[in-house]
């Protein structure tokens, strides 16, 4: 591990310098890595590990779009692509990358194939942390580890192909063989992580659920809707309201924050923008702190997990979800966004 200073706080992290790919190969040389589920995280992790030279197979239901995607990605039925059951039988490291609802439904199938000495791998702490609701309780004679890339499987794959990597957390829930730690780190390197920081299953899912509902998705969507609404109600056109709310955020400012930090972004804006941001950020922080604390409490109490499981297992949920997403998609805000992206794309094509 390397000791790194993060804003005055020292953390131990794992980088590819002290744990290179060759070392990961040595740790996992006798393992068959079975990626169960080829939906959100499965493709990115499986393809990155395959390209990195590991022995990877995929388990997926045959009558599904995900099976067809796996075939189109070069996985071969009977050689590297199998049913979930056969892949879990063959695998020594079983990567449970199904959705949270899928993990609950398939747990009896996977559990009976977790023979002594195998490794159960997750990329989300949900099933284990909330096992009073999921009933996912692993046998005592298997390792249980986690590697959670901090982004989508699509981003993981894109950055890998570009020569970079998403940062990932890793955790050990159960060390039956005495080798769980090195297997977790090796898997983290294998899937293409930038650097790895250690956590535990509970902290991973608490931070993840808070982040998704907060800044990353829920809060972002909510504050965008609020500002767009204010501008439209005050007489601004859809194009002006969208560009000032979303387009500048996503195409100009957030990339600068990602590349160089918030202070750098502030320092490279006009004095008027700097002053306004510095004067108002505290107001927004103070207004949202109570909401975020309420959100964290809801996550920690298991209420968010309960609601997710309950809604996800409701008959017809997919239809309800599509109706909710359609409402977002058909709103003036995001219809305007579709037009703006079209116009931007035409400009980019002309410049190219």
CA angle 153–158–161, rounded 5-degree value: 125
* Chain segment 270-312, per-residue pLDDT in tens: 999 999 999 999 999 999 999 999 999 999 999 999 999 998 8
pTM, rounded to two decimals: 0.91
Report the C-alpha gap between 332 and 326 in whole angstroms.
12
Sheet with 2-6, side-by-side order of all strands: 2-6, 9-15, 193-198, 166-174, 143-149, 119-122, 93-96, 33-36, 56-59, 81-82
Judge contact between 186 and 27, C-beta under 8 A: yes
124 in active site: yes
Judge contact between 59 and 141, C-beta under 8 A: no
How distant, in Å, are the alpha carbons of 113, 136, 201, 202, 309 from that of 131?
19, 5, 12, 11, 12
Q: Which of 118, 124, 157, 183 is catalytic?
A: 124
Q: Is 331 annotated as a binding residue?
A: no
Q: Is 112 annotated as a binding residue?
A: no
Q: Is 303 annotated as a binding residue?
A: no
How distant, in Å, are the alpha carbons of 85, 172, 208, 276 from that of 89?
6, 23, 30, 59
48, β-bridge pairs: none
* Chain segment 86-133, per-residue pLDDT in tens: 999 999 999 999 988 889 999 999 999 999 999 999 999 999 999 999
Q: Is 17 annotated as a binding residue?
A: no
- State residue 70's pLDDT score: 96
Q: Is 322 annotated as a binding residue?
A: no
- All domains in the chain, ordered by first residue: 2-199 (3.40.50.720), 214-351 (no CATH)
């Amino acid at each position: 591990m390397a000791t790194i200073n993060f804003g005055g706080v020292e953390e131990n992290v794992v980088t590819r310098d002290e744990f290179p790919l060759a070392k990961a190969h040595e740790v996992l040389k006798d393992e068959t890595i079975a990626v169960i589920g080829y939906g959100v995280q499965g493709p990115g992790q499986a393809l990155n590990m395959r390209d990195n030279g590991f022995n990877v197979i995929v388990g997926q239901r045959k009558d599904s779009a995900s099976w067809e995607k796996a075939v189109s990605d070069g996985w071969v039925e009977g050689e590297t692509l199998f049913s979930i059951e056969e892949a879990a039988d063959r695998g020594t490291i079983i990567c449970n990358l199904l959705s949270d609802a899928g993990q609950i439904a398939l747990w009896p199938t996977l559990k009976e194939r977790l023979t002594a000495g195998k490794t159960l791998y997750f990329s989300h702490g949900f099933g284990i942390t909330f096992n009073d609701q999921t009933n996912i309780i692993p046998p005592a004679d298997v390792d249980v580890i986690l590697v959670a890339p901090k982004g989508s499987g699509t981003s993981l794959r894109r950055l890998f192909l570009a020569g970079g990597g998403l940062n990932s957390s890793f955790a050990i829930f159960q060390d039956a063989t005495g080798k769980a730690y090195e297997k977790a780190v090796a898997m983290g390197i294998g899937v293409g992580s930038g650097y790895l920081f250690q956590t535990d299953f509970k902290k991973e899912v608490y931070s993840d659920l808070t982040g998704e509902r907060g800044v990353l998705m829920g809060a972002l969507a909510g504050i965008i809707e609020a500002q767009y609404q204010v501008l439209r109600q005050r007489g601004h056109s859809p194009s002006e309201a969208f560009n000032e709310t979303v387009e500048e955020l996503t195409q100009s400012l957030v990339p600068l924050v990602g590349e160089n930090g918030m202070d750098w972004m502030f320092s490279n804006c006009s004095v008027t923008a700097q002053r306004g941001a510095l004067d108002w950020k505290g107001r927004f922080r103070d207004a949202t702190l109570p909401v975020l604390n309420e959100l964290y409490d809801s996550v920690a109490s298991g209420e968010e997990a309960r609601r997710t499981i309950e809604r996800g297992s409701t008959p017809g949920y997919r239809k309800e979800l599509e109706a909710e997403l359609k409402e977002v998609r058909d709103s003036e805000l995001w219809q305007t966004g579709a037009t703006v992206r079209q116009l931007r794309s035409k400009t980019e094509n002309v410049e190219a």
